[in-house]
Amino acid sequence: MFSEEFTNSVALPMTALFLATGSATPEVPAIMLERLCTSPLYAMWCPTDKNTLVGHRPPMIVFPNFFEFYETWRKDLVSRGVTVRLSTELTEVVLRNKHGVANFYREDLAVEKLDGVDQTSRLSFSVDNYRPMYYIKMYPEDKSKLEICSDATNYQCQLPENVPFEQHAFQTIYLNEIRENRIIRREWWHQPCHSYTHYLFVVAWMMFLQAKNHTRFAVASTLVNAHEVAVISGIAAAVDIGAEYPEDLENDGFAFLCFPLYYPLAYGMWYRRKYTKNLRQPTTKATKEGSSWASGLHSSVYKGPSVTMVERLTSGEEVNKSRSARNLAKGSVPGRSQS
């Protein structure tokens, strides 16, 4: 059993950040957190750190500009006769006002040693390089109630590395207090919940809802609130309608490990191999490339497109396209970890 302090300070915030469950986080089964920390396939923080639980610089996949990616996809779908509707409903406008966020670094509160392990190098690195992507707001009267926010300037790799903190853009998913003149855009948002009721009364019955009235449900909430599930659910809907599962993905060990697990859960049918049946070898250049993307335990280490060892590569590409700017600050302000 987790202690109350560990639950409220570590377990619940970690779960809330990944699943965006907010104040419903206490209802999320503990197995979800276990999978996020230990599964080589689905974990965000795997392997865990024996001293800090979560590695502060975990390996990440950097995606290119998502607007360009999805807009290209949208135009292609429209050219094929598909109707794509975006921002078609606004049901409520939330008033936000008052104060923003202050971020600073205090050396007097830093922990130099943890369980006898010297943390000096990590702390020294953080003085100039600590750029948190996420924030959690807790209430002293009920620490299980969590409000989350992400620093989009630190989160989006296409933006400059050094930007004055006052110019950072934040995405808030809660009713916090923000000065009216600092709000860029409002969007209505529905908080997902991953309690046992979601899996007992929604996920378990999805296969019986699919294709009714010529409708397929392609959304992350058919299983778990993750971008990957949303993409897989869209592919599954296309396959169920009659499209072919891409040959390069069938040869991608990681992709093809996930899809055959999701498809029977959402549609009640097994996916039959086509291109890799009887261990057939890849037949096209794209397929041969796809077969080399997955490596490691259970094909859990991705080495395909978007993986690069060059820091800020995407940011440089956006600058060349005149969609971003170079550094807007020289570096961190003394006494604070960010510009």
The predicted-structure confidence for 264-316, as pLDDT tens digits, reads as follows 999 999 998 887 777 666 667 767 777 777 777 666 676 766 665 556 666 77
Q: Can you tell me the distance from the alpha carbon of 54 to that of 44, in angstroms, rounded to the nearest whole number?
A: 9
Q: Cα Rg for the chain, rounded, in angstroms?
A: 22
Residues 82-121 as b or e (16 or more Cβ within 10 Å = b):
eeeeeeeeeeeeeebeeeeeeeebeeeeeeeeeeeeebee
Residue of higher predicted confidence among 43 and 57: 43
Residue of higher predicted confidence among 153 and 114: 153
What's the pLDDT tens digit per position in 318-332? 777 777 767 766 666
What is the token pair recorded at 199?
């899996």
Residue of higher predicted confidence among 298 and 32: 32
Most confident of 91-100, 104-113, 231-240: 231-240
Q: What residue ranges do the domains of the chain occupy?
A: 1-83+96-192+311-334, 202-302
The mean pLDDT of 38-47, rounded to a whole number, is 71
What's the pLDDT tens digit per position in 206-226? 999 998 888 899 988 898 888
What pLDDT is attached to residue 31? 85
What pLDDT is attached to residue 96? 47
205 pLDDT tier (thresholds 50, 70, 90) = very high
- Tokens 């001293």 found at: 51
Do the Cβ atoms of 192 and 203 come closer than 8 Å? no
Angle between helices 253-267 and 227-241 (to 10 degrees): 70
